[in-house]
Chains A and B, each alone.
Chain A
């Protein structure tokens, strides 16, 4: 992450403002900044989404591919995350600069999606023991404005909602089963994302904690907890980051507020995605 260097008085100011529940931009501790979502904007992917959270900008594209199943798990499909930090976001990402952050985010996503209730993995399996779908989820980080994990996970969920997996017809002939992937763009099935988690990052600043921290606030926070939260409030993954220590009481408080926010986020996201689906309009993309 692009490190913001703050002076001591600025940090003190942010710390006090979090204590007062009136953050730098007037938000309360559990308020998210407003967010913009668009799905289906890249025509050559099976599913895509773009999320803009204040100045954080994330683009996600999903491609599906037929692949032999993992012999250890013969009945399920697989997903794979890949994140690219564009050097447009910050010069620090140039070359291999963004790799550390990228692997951190993909690891967290893999963890939160490894829970079996996240998406219906068995529906991604075509022929148990032989062929399954592999979803390549490619994430492009275009701009950093704080709270990357949450924005990325929301974009991933939106793209999964938008995912159109082509239908496959199976024909038996001598020697084996032949798979035929449909070319018709309107012949597809969708994925149920009602169980998919979003990541909620809770930053500890002073004695309080905040969600959706801006870059400046992230610079003031010594410890943060990231949680994968589903619509029902189930925690699918948890990770603590930062040099600071947390006592068990504050961790449970943080989990509680992450849960509340996470449930609300999931609900809001699903509603808005359904609303978008009902509208038939040209994609907006980047030209506005």
Chain B
């Protein structure tokens, strides 16, 4: 505890001088606000708003429920739309997307619609007979069957009654897991599996929840970022950020959790990543490894806790969007 306080003090000194330099060189916010950050109250009236995409001159392809998308009958009805009086209407608020003749609306805010093969992060909420119930921000609770997990030690065998009794020892209520969607049942309930060493129980780290529509579908959703932390971008909008070496240890299926303290530098990287992900989500920017890394880099000139402030979020995300546009991705 002694060491903790002294290092904390050193850090304060460091950040104070750092911010001092910053305030005279690059940024014109007053110094007091940064050093005495314990309390920060502001007015709703003075809130900075980003580019108003919804009320601008050109609303683009954003629709609200009931809006007419097209009166042309040559299109096919996709997700988030309905036919009424020979017009195609939107049933959700979101962006219109078109693939050839198929028109669909991708909602801005939604529950997770699972698809087979998706990587998800979920929390165990119930242990029942031969299966776990998992919360995955889906409309219904997902299910993880005892037969679709790798038992500790990577054993592959028939699940005996013993295993059934030991279920709570493997995964108990509150535990977080990463898994893959194995099947979507007829009622929309997802069945998950963790039969690969990269899936399984998660250890120390931070869970961030964002809208599922913000997570870009990619070939891989597990990233070891070169900033000292790993990130799992669940398709269900749950994002797991953890120290890198713990992921390697977790390759055994993650049943033995490492409860050793995480080093300060890793902790800082994780906290920064967390705030960066939230900043991107706040501005409705798609989340994938590049966008997150760029935000991480753009945020370097701010202290970690300052990335929670709206004006900093705007500035950082704006930089990232420009950079992404430049690179055409």
Contacts of B36 in A (CB 8 A): 264
* Complex Cα gap A10–B121 (Å): 14
Query: Are the C-beta atoms of A37 and B41 separated by less than 8 Å?
Result: yes
Cβ of A26 under 8 Å from chain B:
yes
Contacts of A24 in B (CB 8 A): 206, 271, 274
Contacts of B204 in A (CB 8 A): 9-10, 12-13
Contacts of A20 in B (CB 8 A): 4, 7-8, 261, 264, 267
Count of chain A residues with a beta carbon within 8 Å of a chain B beta carbon: 48
Cβ of B203 under 8 Å from chain A:
yes
17 example contacts (A-B, Cβ-Cβ < 8 A) are as follows A5-B123, A7-B202, A9-B204, A9-B257, A12-B204, A19-B4, A21-B11, A22-B264, A25-B274, A26-B307, A27-B308, A30-B38, A33-B308, A36-B41, A36-B47, A37-B44, A284-B47
- Chain B 253-283 near chain A by CB (<8 Å), digits 1 or 0: 0000111011010011001101100000000
Query: Are the C-beta atoms of A32 and B40 separated by less than 8 Å?
Result: yes
Interface contact tally, CB-CB below 8 A = 147
Contacts of B115 in A (CB 8 A): none
Contacts of A31 in B (CB 8 A): 37-38, 305
Contacts of B305 in A (CB 8 A): 25-28, 31
- Residue in contact with B205 in the complex, picked from A10, A25, A34, A288, CB distance below 8 Å: A10
Query: Are the C-beta atoms of A10 and B207 separated by less than 8 Å?
Result: yes
Cβ of A204 under 8 Å from chain B:
no
Contacts of B12 in A (CB 8 A): 28
* Complex Cα gap A8–B172 (Å): 10
- Chain A 261-283 near chain B by CB (<8 Å), digits 1 or 0: 10011001100100110010101
* Complex Cα gap A54–B204 (Å): 24
Contacts of B11 in A (CB 8 A): 21-22
* Complex Cα gap A50–B44 (Å): 9
* Complex Cα gap A231–B277 (Å): 37
Closest to A260 in B: B38
Contacts of A283 in B (CB 8 A): 45
A6-B174 CB under 8 A given contacts A24-B274, A31-B38, A34-B309: yes
Q: A residues near B, CB below 8 A?
A: 5-10, 12-13, 16-17, 19-28, 30-38, 50, 52, 54, 154, 207, 260-261, 264-265, 268-269, 272, 275-276, 279, 281, 283-284, 288
Contacts of B309 in A (CB 8 A): 34
* Complex Cα gap A8–B261 (Å): 13
Closest to A29 in B: B8
* Complex Cα gap A24–B304 (Å): 10
Contacts of A27 in B (CB 8 A): 305, 308
Cβ of B303 under 8 Å from chain A:
yes
* Complex Cα gap A54–B308 (Å): 9
A23-B175 CB under 8 A given contacts A5-B125, A35-B41, A37-B42: no
Cβ of B29 under 8 Å from chain A:
no
